[in-house]
Structure 1
Amino acid sequence: MELPLTVEIILKAVVVLAAFLTLPLAIGQTEHKVMAHMQGRLGPMEAGPHGIAQLVADGIKFVQKEDITPAAADRWVFRLAPAVALIPYLIALAAIPWSAAWVAADVPASLLFVLAVSSIGIFGTLMAGWGSGNKYSLVGGMRAGAQLVSYELPMVLAAASVAMAAGTLSLTGIAQAWSWWWLVWQLPGALVFLIAAVAELQRVPFDAPIADAEVVFGPYTEYSGLGFAFFLLAEYAGIVVMSLLFTVLFLGGWSGPFADTLGPVWTLLKATLVAILILWLRIAWPRVREDQLQRLAWTVLVPLALVQLALTGVGVVIWG
C-alpha cells in the first residue's frame, strides 16, 4: 500500500531530522570515549551508564548558559551564523542514500547537490568571524575561509573521478556502479577526499583557524550558550555527512552480503569506521601550521587529484 505523497514527505522529513539529531551526538560521545581510551583515560563517566548521556548533559548545560551578543557585534549576522553553519548539513543528509530505496530526496545530480550544499557552511564561519566585532574572530574567520576554499578544489576533483568512473552524478547510481576493484583504482582519490574532508571540517591536524593556541578560538571566540552549541553540533554533523559521502563514493555504500535487506546497516557500519578514523586523527597527529596547511592543499592534494582524474579517464576509455 503506497502512502499519500504528503504523508511520505512528512515521514521522510521526520526520519532525516531524527537521524540529524542523534547521529552527531553519537559521534560526539564516541569521540569522548575513543580519545579517552587511546590516552589511557576513562572519559566522562557520571552522566548515565558509562557516561553515555554526556552529550545530553552538555546540551542541557548550554541551554542554561546566558547567550551573550557583544556590544560591538553586528547583531543579525552574529545571531544567524550558527544556523547558517548547521542547516546545510541537514539538507545534505537528506540527499545521501543509505540504500537504493533508503534516500529521503533522490535529487538529480545528487553528488553536486551535496557538495554544493555542504560548502555553504563556510558562510556561517565567515559570518561568525566578521559579525563578532572581535579582531581574533575576524582573523580566525579569514583563515577558515582560506582553508575551506583551498581544500574544496581537491575534494571536488576526487569526487569527479568517481563520478567519471561510474558515468553518473547520482550518488545512488555511483554506489550501484561501484566495484570492489575500485578500492585500488580510486585509492589516491579516496585519500585526497578524506584529507580534504578533515580540513573542511577544521578538525585536527587542520584546526589552526579555531585552535585556542592560535587565535583564542577563532570565529567562535565570542559565542556562548546555544550559539556555541550549534557550532559544535555542526562540526559533528559535518563528520556524519562526510563519512556517509565517503562511504557512498569510495566504499560502495550499501554493498555487502545480503545488501537487499542489510544495505542500510552496511552503510552505517562503513560510515562509522570512517568517522572513527577522523576522530583518531585528532589524537594521533599534531596540528600543522597555516602555511603548511595551504602548501599541502596546492602542492600535494590538487596534483594528486588531477593524476587520479587522468587515471580514471584512461581506465574509462580502456574498460568503458
Structure 2
Amino acid sequence: MTILARGNPDKTLALFGHDPWWLMLIKAVVIFVLLVVLTLLTIWFERKAVAWMQVRPGPNRNGPFGLLQSLADGLKLAFKEDLIPKDADKIVFILAPVISAACAITAFSVIPLGGMVNLFGYDTPLQLTDLPVGVLLVLSCSALGVYGIVLGGWASGSTYSLLGSLRAAAQVISYEIAMGLSIVAVFLTSGTLSTSGIVDAQQHGQPMTIGSTSFHIPGWYALLLLPSFIIFCISVVGETNRAPFDLPEAESELVGGFHTEYSSLKFALFFLAEYINMVTVSAMATTLFLGGWQAPFPASWWPAANTGWWPMLWFFAKVIVLLFCFVWLRGTLPRFRYDQFMRLGWKVLVPVNLIWIVALAGFYAGRNAVGLSTKVAVIGGVGLLVLLALLFWPTRKEYKPPAEPDTGLGGYPVPPLSLEVPPSPGVKTLEATREPVAAREGE
C-alpha cells in the first residue's frame, strides 16, 4: 500500500496562462483589496481576542462590536504629521516601508484560494498565477521583505532603529533556514514545488481496508509530515517578528525597534506589511500542510464541498484558525531573550529538521529500492544513523560558578558592585550649586 501521494504538476500548471489581461488585472485588484480588508479584520480580531483573554472589553466604540476601530486608526495615521529625522537618508527612509509592503503583497499571488470557477464567461482557477517553483517565490518575497526593515533601521540615523534592524536580519537568516527545510519534506512527498500541485497531491486520501471496513487515510501533510508542520509553524512566527519572537521591535529595550523614527503613512505601511505577512504565512501553512482549499475530512460528507465557491470558505476558515494561534501566542507567552531565541533556531529546529529529512529520504529510497534485502538495508541504515544522531545530541552544560567571585573590575558586561549611582554630567549637584553662593556671600 502506498501511503504518500505524489502530485502531477503538469496537470495543475496547465490551467494557468489562458486568462485575458483584464481578468488577470481584476484578480490582482481583488487580492490586494482582500489583503487590506483581512488586515483590518485581523487587527480587530487580535484586539478582541487578547481583551477576552485579559477579561476586558476591547474595542467597542467605533462601529458594531468595534469593527471600525482599525479603519479609524488607519485614518488617524494618514492625517498625522509626517516627520523625517534630520540625519536620515531620505530616499532610503521613504522606500523602506514600500519594499516591505510590496514584498508582502506579492507573496500572496501564488496562493490557491479555490478550484475552477466561471468568471465573466471564462473558466479560471481561483489563483492569480502559479509557477513550477511557486513555493520558492513566497520564500524569496519573505527574504526580500526584510530588506525594508534593515534599510528602514539603517536610514533612520537612530541607534535603536539600527539595533532593531540588525536583529531582524539575524532573525530572518536563522528561521528561514528551518522554514525552508520544512518545505523540503513537502517537496519530497508531493514531487512538486507548485502550490496548486501540492494542494492537488493532498486532495485524495489513500484507501485502506481492515477486515470488511474500508476508509481513507487523510492526505493532509500536517498529519503525514507532523515534525515538518510543527517546525514550520514555529519558524513562521519568528519570520514574521511576532510575539514571543518580536525582538526587532522590543519596546522595553529598543523604544520601537526598526520603526522608532517612522510616523504617518510610512509607519502604517510597516504595520500593513506585518499583518499581511501573518495572513500570507497562514495561507502558506494551509496550502502546504492543511490541504489548501479542500473541505475538512472526511470530504465525502458532501459531494459538492470542493466545487464552485465553497473551497474559499474552507480555505479562509483554516487561515483564521492559524491567525488565532498567532494571537493566542501573543496573549500567552512572554518575549524570549535573544540568546534563547537564537539557540532555539540553530540548536533545535535546524538539527531536528535535518534528521527528519534524512529519515524521510531514507524511507523513500528504501521504498523504491528493488528487492526486499535492499529495502531493509537502506531503511535500517538510515534508522541507525538517526538513532546515533539522537544518542549523541548535544546537551546544555550545567552551570558552574567561577572559582573566584567577580569583584566588578573588568568583569564586562557585569557592572561594578557599588550601588552608588554616579551623577549625570548634565545635572548640577547640590554641592556644586552651593559653592557659587558661598563665594558671592564672602565677597
Fold conserved (TM > 0.5)? yes
Check the 8 A contact 1:254/1:266 in 2, yes or no: yes
Q: Deviations over 1:71-114 (max 9, x none)?
A: 00010111111111111111111111112321111222101111
Check the 8 A contact 1:158/1:308 in 2, yes or no: no
Task: Pick one of 307, 324, 338 that aligns with 1:260.
Answer: 307
**Aligned residue type for 1:285:** L
Q: Is 2:41 the partner of 1:26?
A: yes
For 1:120-199, list aligned pairs within 5 A. Answer: 120-178=144-202, 179=205, 180-181=218-219, 182-199=221-238
The structure that is helix-richer by fraction is: 1
**Aligned residue type for 2:146:** I
Q: Deviations over 1:150-173 (max 9, x none)?
A: 101000000111111100010111
The percentage of aligned residue pairs carrying the same residue is 39
Paired residue for 1:270?
318
Change (3 A) 1:11 1:287: same
Task: Pick one of 205, 210, 222 that aligns with 2:249.
Answer: 210
**Aligned residue type for 2:288:** L
2: CA distance, partners of 1:221 / 1:7: 41
Tell me the TM-score normalised to structure 1 length. Answer: 0.96
Paired residue for 1:316?
364
**Aligned residue type for 1:293:** F
Q: Deviations over 1:9-49 (max 9, x none)?
A: 21111211111211111111110111110111110111101
Structure index of larger Rg: 2
For 1:5-154, list aligned pairs within 5 A. Answer: 5-100=20-115, 101-154=125-178
Paired residue for 1:245?
284
Q: Secondary structure at the match of 2:58?
A: coil
Give structure 2 stretches of 5+ with no counterpart.
Answer: 1-17, 116-124, 206-217, 300-304, 369-443
Paired residue for 1:283?
331
**Aligned residue type for 2:349:** L
Runs of 4+ in 1 over 6 A off after TM superposition: none
2: CA distance, partners of 1:316 / 1:265: 35
Q: Deviations over 1:236-291 (max 9, x none)?
A: 10100000000000101112231123212111111110111011100111100111
Change (3 A) 1:255 1:307: farther
Q: Which structure would you say has the larger RCO, counting Cα contacts within 8 Å and 6 or more residues apart?
A: 1
The structure that is strand-richer by fraction is: 2
**Of 187-196 and 7-16, the range deviating more from structure 2:** 7-16
Check the 8 A contact 2:238/2:245 in 1, yes or no: yes
Q: Is 2:345 the partner of 1:301?
A: no
